[in-house]
Amino acid sequence: MQATRRDFLKFTTIGGAAAAIFGFDLQPAYAQLRVLKIARASETRSTCPYCAVGCGTIIYTIGDKAKNVTPQVVHVEGDPDHPTNRGTLCPKGASLEQDILNDRRLLKPQVRRPGGTQWEDISWDDALNEIAARIKKTRDDSFIEKDAKGVTVNRLESISWIGGCTDTNEFNYLVVKAMRALGVVHLENQARV
């Protein structure tokens, strides 16, 4: 067991200085280390969201996934089984914990009205209803069913979608489906630039 400073003091006062002079030995053969913070954490295998090496990551969360626990990230580390990164991570991947726990995250829907100088809060329902109404109005106002030559083109040039680099394949597919169904042709992605 570890002798604490208090034990040491107690011992000194009780045992007296004389004993101490001759060097009593309270140091144990072992020294206490910090406990392994991930010892009982839950592991979730994920993929780093940054570059296209696609490193495997392990996200460690406290709690054993019992019902009464909201998992809290305590550490992110490379997945040693992953053939590409074999446990390694770059300085961005290694700091993913700060991305997950970032206090700069956006947490509620907001709107900036025409002429506005600041963000206003808006409920999800209101936001989605307004957006849907705007999409419909813009589409109905400018949908091109036939081009100048009378060819059916069913094209919508007035709405654009620009997609990000960290969207999953499945999300991208849903977007392509939905956007092409609307007739969107201004459909672009980080992949272009």
Please state, in angstroms and as integers, the Cα–Cα distance from residue 153 to each residue in 3, 140, 141, following that order: 83, 15, 16
Q: How far is the CB of 66 from another protein (least distance, A)?
A: 14
Footprint of another protein on 34-53 (CB under 8 A): 34-37, 39, 44-53
Q: Which amino acid is at 90?
A: C
Cβ neighbours of 99 (radius 10 Å): 16
Residue 5 engages another protein in binding (rule: CB under 8 A): yes
Among 21, 66, 67, 68, the residue binding another protein under the rule CB under 8 A is: 21
CB of 64 to another protein, least distance (A): 14
* Binds another protein (CB under 8 A): choice among 64, 66, 67, 138: 138
69 binds another protein (CB under 8 A): no
Q: Quote the CA–CA distance of 155 and 179 in Å, as a whole number.
A: 11
- Does position 14 interact with another protein (CB under 8 A)? The reply is no
Q: How far is the CB of 69 from another protein (least distance, A)?
A: 11
176 burial level (CB within 10 Å; 0-12, 13-18, 19+): middle
Q: Which residues pair with 42 in a beta bridge?
A: 61
CA distance 168 to 14: 68
**Any contact of residue 68 with another protein (CB under 8 A)?**
no
- Note whether 136 binds another protein by CB under 8 A: yes
By CB under 8 A, name the one of 66, 67, 68, 140 that touches another protein. Answer: 140
Site for another protein in 108-127 (CB under 8 A): 108-117, 119, 122, 124, 127
| φ, ψ at 25 (rounded to 5°) | -120, 105
In the complex, minimum distance from the CB of residue 28 to another protein, in angstroms, rounded to a whole number: 7
Q: How far apart are CA 74 and CA 97, in angstroms?
A: 7
Evaluate whether 98 touches 145 at the Cβ level (below 8 Å). Answer: no
Work out which of 14, 17, 67, 68 binds another protein, going by CB under 8 A: 17
Establish if 166 lies at the interface with another protein (CB under 8 A): yes
